[in-house]
Amino acid sequence: MKKQIWHTASGEETQLLAEKIASYVQEGDVFALEGGLGAGKTTFCQGLAKGLEVARYVDSPTFTVVKEYQGRLPLYHMDVYRLDGVESDLGLEEYFYGDGICVIEWASIIQEILPDDTISFSFEVQEDGTRSISFPINGERAKRLAKDVSWG
């Protein structure tokens, strides 16, 4: 399977990349973010929020699980790190099929309930401090995103 890989040299560049990606998102997009602590997941979401014209500051929803933001499209930022597997009573699935964009940090924890067309981003910190951000090009949305967003 083909993979799209982008490289960023700083948190600011990670935000700029995500801001650019925000130009191509559409209602119902679900982005699954994976990577170690400090890899840039929340920074990426901040850039998406800026690109979606969200006025509020975006921080990690670690203790609340979901934070909702209003912009050009609604942004639902989730951090499922503290969940113990799928906790169906939380109603997370309702967000996936709603009117906004879902960004889920530590998404592998709830992998089995994610929509089939979820775009899964992997964040890795390189030895020189730069970040690599990659996603498999599977599905029409991922193909279009890889084609439309030029970076680097």
Relative to beta strand 30-34, strand 66-69 is unpaired
pTM over 0.75: yes
pLDDT tens column, 55-91: 999 988 777 889 999 999 999 999 998 876 555 557 8
Q: Taking the CB of residue 148, how many other CB atoms lie within 10 A of it?
A: 11
Q: What are phi and psi of 136, to 5 degrees?
A: -70, 140
What structural domains and CATH numbers belong to the chain?
Answer: 4-148 (3.40.50.300)
How confident is the model at residue 67, as a pLDDT?
Answer: 95
From the centroid of its chain, how far is CA 90? Answer: 20
